[in-house]
Chain A
Amino acid sequence: MTIILSFPVKDGLLIASDSQITSGIVRTTGKKIKKLNDRCLWSASGELALIQRVEEGLTALSTANQPLSVLRDNLSKKIRDCVVAFLNLVGGRPITGDFVFVEYTDKPNILHVTLDGTPEWIVGRPFVSGIGDVFTYALLRKYQGLFPDKIDMQKGSLLAFKVIEEVIDVVSVGVGPPIDIWQLTANEIKNMDETEITALEDASHGLRETELKLFLGNSN
């Protein structure tokens, strides 16, 4: 299980996830956000075996270097094909899977592809996938009017960290640290390093302390 979060900010786009990988009763950690090409990242929630199959399919995609606007239908078809093949393999039992692709061209592009291969653009709002998605949307609700123009990359990174941190704190199984955050701008794709994530942890702690201070009306 997984939590993935992506949203546009004033100067780019963010995508973040937890890093817990669950296989049966075994829990490990690993990266859930991957590169499709030098401009585009993708991630998925759902069954690991299906995600691995899709990853193999995407690696073999000869047109993978194109922008998402060109790739959209190919990605959709590739995912649908993988799902159909996987369904046959598992005898038609119910499966789960949800896919998101992000890139920043002259604007943020977030492409959501559902389990049946339906592609949809997510415009001017956050996208969340995985366990605790409704809870995550609820946490983001009060920031809704701020996307994308009133939140810069630094504050957006903090928001992504804080929301996923709270989901990990509350959801009992399937999600866990470390939190992985990628920043996409017109010039680069950057994976925040460990020290930057630790700084966000401290900033998030400060924000929580301040929320309590405001709530209680204390002067200290």
Chain B
Amino acid sequence: MSLMKKDWILLALRQTPLDRIHIMKTLFLIWHRSGRKLRDYFEFVPYLYGPCSFEVYSVLENLQANGYIVQPPHPMPQWVNYYLTDVGKREAKEASKRASPETLRFIETVAGEASQLRFHELLRKVYAEAPDFAVNSMFRGVMK
């Protein structure tokens, strides 16, 4: 059985809480470092801040609406981490049964790595690894 799109997010958040940008870049790095060959995965485009999959936003919205994840109230939601709820933790555990141990370790490594990086450090890493997805970025000049 393969992972669904929401599972990748739940498994990343199981490792560590992340904000939207960090979730986006974690999901991208997972795809990129997997040789860009994951099936039924998010599709990324080069956007204003580098790789972006608009679908990530709607999946996050659904996960939140279904009570799997929660974001503490804040006037600037883009700055705030998402956390798994108890229901989300159970769902993440179920998802983990559908993934190989290697895949789980891989998700945990990438999510953990991304969580340690501040915004510009994270972008710099992503742009260095995947320059083809930085072509439309406003931040390329600043990242050098």
List residues of A whose CB falls within 8 A of some B CB: 154-155, 158, 194-196, 198-203, 205-207, 209-210, 213-214, 220
Contact = CB atoms under 8 A, between A and B. Distances in A.
Contacts of B120: 209-210, 213, 220
A interface, by DSSP: helix, strand, loop or mixed?
helix
Given A155-B138, A205-B76, A220-B118, A198 B48 contact: no
A52 B74 CA distance: 35
What is the size category of the interface that chain B forms with chain A?
20 to 34
B121 A206 contact: no
B139 A206 contact: yes
Contacts of A200: 48
Contact of B21 (A155, A195, A205, A210): A205
Nearest to A208: B76
A127 to B, nearest CB: 24
B55 interface: yes
Contact of A202 (B21, B61, B121): B21
Contacts of A210: 120, 138-139, 142
23 contacts: A154-B48, A194-B58, A194-B61, A195-B57, A195-B58, A196-B54, A198-B57, A199-B57, A200-B48, A201-B77, A201-B78, A202-B21, A202-B24, A202-B78, A203-B47, A203-B48, A205-B78, A206-B119, A206-B123, A206-B139, A209-B120, A213-B120, A213-B142
